[in-house]
Structure 1
Amino acid sequence: MSSNKLSAVLEKQIRRLCLNDFPCGYGTWRKTKDSPEGAETEDTDALLDLLNCPHSPWRQDKSWSPQAAALRQLAVLTPERLHTDFIYNYFTTLRIVDKDVSVIDNSLLKFSKLEELVLTDNKISEIPAENLPSSLKILELRANRLSALNSLTNCLPPRLEYLSLGSNRLGSLDDICHLTGRHWPQLVSLDLSNCDFEDQQALLSAVSTLPCLRTLVLEGNPLTLALSYPGLTVDTLPQLVCLDTSWISVEERQSFSGLAKNSDLIVDRASTTVSVGRMSGIPNPLMRVDENAPDFPVVNYGYVVTYEFLSHQTVNLNLDRESKSEAAHVTEDCLNDADLQSNKNCENDSSKLDTQDLMVYTEETCRDIAHVSRHSTSKLSWSECMDFSHTQTYTVSDLGCLKRFFNKGFYLTIEEEKVLSWPAASEDVPQAKSSRPVKEKKGGKGKASPIKSGATKNKSVDKKKKFVPELVQDAPIRRLLSSVHIPLQSLVTGAQKVDVLCDLGTLHIESEDLGKKIKEDKKKEKESKQKGGSGTKPKNMAAPKGKGKRVQEREMDVHTDDSMAVRLESMTVELTVALEKWQSASEAHQLLLPHQNS
Structure 2
Amino acid sequence: MAGPGAASAAFWEHLRRLCLDQFPCGIGSWARASPRDGFLPPEEESVESLTDYLRSLGSPWALPADCSPEDQQLRELAVQAPRDIQDSLIFSYFKSLRIVNKNVIEIDADLLKFPNLEELILSANHISKINSSNLPPTLKVLELCGNEVDGLKDLCAHPPPELQHLGLGHNCQLGSSEEQYLTDTYWPKLVSLDLSYNNFTNLLSLLLKLLTMKKLRVLVLQGNPLALLPGYRGFVIDSLPKLCTLDDVIITPDERHDFLELSSNPGELLKCYTKMVVVIGKVRGVPNPIGSEEPETGPEAPIITYNYYVTYEFAKDEKIEEEETDKVDILEMEECDLTFEVSCSEDVLSSKALRFSPLGNVYSTPRKPWAEVIDCDHTKEHVTRDMVALKAYLLAGTTVTVVEEKVVSWPVVLTPNESPTKKGKDKGKAEKGKGKGKGKEKEKEKEKEKKGGKKKKSPSPELRSDPPIVKVLGSGHVNLESLLAGEPLVETVCDFGILITESTSKKVAFLRKPPVGRIGPWCSYLFHQHCLK
Q: Does TM-score exceed 0.5, indicating one fold?
A: yes
How far apart are 1:26 and its partner, in Å? 5.3
Work out whether residues 166 and 194 of structure 1, in 8 Å CA contact, stay in contact via their aligned partners in 2: yes
Tell whether 2:257 aligns with 1:265.
no
Any conservation in 2 of the 1:64–1:95 contact (CA below 8 Å)? no
Aligned to 1:406: 394
Matched, 1:459 2:454: yes
- Say whether the 8 Å CA contact 1:484–1:503 is kept in structure 2: no
Q: Please tell me whether the aligned partners of residues 188 and 213 of structure 2 are also in contact (alpha carbons under 8 angstroms).
A: yes
Q: Structure 1: which 5+ residue stretches go unaligned?
A: 318-369, 429-448, 518-562, 564-598
Q: What are the superposed Cα offsets for residues 509-553 of structure 1, whole Å, 9 maximum, x if unpaired?
A: 666359969xxxxxxxxxxxxxxxxxxxxxxxxxxxxxxxxxxxx
What is the aligned counterpart of 2:129 among 126, 130, 133?
126
Q: Relative to 1, partners in 2 of residues 1:114 and 1:511: Cα closer, same or farther, differing over 3 Å?
A: same
Q: Secondary structure of the residue that 2:120 maps to in structure 1?
A: strand
Counterparts of 1:84 and 1:165 in 2: how far apart (Å)?
31
Secondary structure at the aligned position of 1:155 is classed as: coil
- Consecutive unaligned residues of structure 2, counting only runs of 5 or more, are 323-357, 414-418, 423-445, 510-529
Q: Distance in 2 between matches of 1:308 and 1:245?
A: 30
Within a 5 Å distance, the mapping from 1:279-290 to structure 2 comes to 279-287=283-291, 290=295
Q: What does residue 152 of structure 1 align with?
A: 155
1:137 aligns with 2:125: no
Cα pair 2:448 2:454 within 8 Å, conserved: no
For the pair 1:32 / 2:34, whether they are aligned, the reply is yes
Tell whether 2:311 aligns with 1:306: yes
Match of 2:113 in 1: 110
Q: Name the residue aligned to 1:389.
A: 377
Partner in structure 1 of residue 337 of structure 2: none
- The residue aligned with 2:364 is 376
Match of residue 6 from structure 2: 5
Asked whether the equivalents of residues 242 and 248 of structure 1 are also in contact (C-alpha less than 8 Å), the reply is yes
Q: Which of 462, 483, 493 pairs up with 1:501? A: 493
Please report how far the alpha carbon of residue 295 of structure 1 lies from its aligned counterpart in structure 2 after TM superposition.
7.1
Counterpart of 1:266 in 2: which secondary structure?
Answer: helix
Q: 1:459 to 1:198 in 2, by over 3 A?
A: same
Name the structure where helix makes up a greater proportion of residues: 1
1:191-202 equivalence runs, <5 A: 191-202=194-205
Contact 1:30/1:44 (<8 A) preserved: no
Aligned pair partner of 1:241 in 241, 244, 247: 244
Residue 175 of structure 1, CA deviation: 1.9
Report the counterpart of residue 74 of structure 2 in structure 1.
Answer: 71
Q: Does 1:418 align with 2:410?
A: no
Letter in 2 for 1:248: I
User: 2: distance between equivalents of 1:114 and 1:65?
Assistant: 15
Query: Identity percentage over the alignment?
Result: 36
Per mean C-alpha deviation after superposition, the further-off stretch among 226-235 and 469-478 is: 469-478
Cα deviation, 1:539-597, whole Å, max 9, x if unaligned, reads xxxxxxxxxxxxxxxxxxxxxxxx9xxxxxxxxxxxxxxxxxxxxxxxxxxxxxxxxxx
State whether structure 2 residue 277 is matched by structure 1 residue 277: no
Q: CA deviation at 1:249?
A: 2.6
For residues 220-369 of structure 1, what are the structure 2 equivalents within 5 Å? Answer: 220-267=223-270, 269-287=273-291, 290=295, 292-294=297-299, 299-314=304-319
- Structure 1 CA distance, aligned partners of 2:71 and 2:284? 62
Following superposition, the deviation at residue 212 of structure 1 comes to: 1.6
1:486 pairs with 2:477: yes
Q: Contact conserved, 2:304 with 2:406, CA < 8 A, in 1? A: no
Q: CA deviation at 1:299?
A: 4.6
- Alignment correspondent of 2:426: none
Q: Secondary structure at the match of 1:227?
A: coil
Q: CA deviation at 1:266?
A: 0.9
Name the Cα RMSD after superposition.
3.6
Q: 1:313 to 1:427 in 2, by over 3 A?
A: farther
* Residue type at the aligned position of 1:420: S
Cα distance, 1:108 vs structure 2 = 0.6
CA spacing shift, 1:4–1:468, aligned 2, 3 Å? same
In structure 1, how many angstroms separate the alpha carbons of the residues matched to 2:279 and 2:17?
58
| Greater Cα shift, 283-292 or 249-258 | 283-292
Cα distance in 2 for residues equivalent to 1:122 and 1:149: 17
Q: Which amino acid aligns with 1:306?
A: T
Any idea what SS the aligned residue of 1:395 has? strand
Counterpart code for 1:404 = A
Contact 1:427 1:470 in 2 (8 A): no
> Relative to structure 1, is the Cα distance of residues 40 and 223 closer, same or farther in structure 2, using a 3 angstrom cutoff?
same
Q: TM-score, normalised by structure 2?
A: 0.71
How many residue pairs are counted as aligned between the two chains?
439
- Rounded Cα–Cα distance in structure 1 between residues aligned with 2:450 and 2:387: 75
- Offset at residue 15 of structure 1 (A): 4.6
Q: How much has 1:77 moved relative to structure 2?
A: 3.4
Equivalence map 1:509-588=2 (5 Å): 512=504
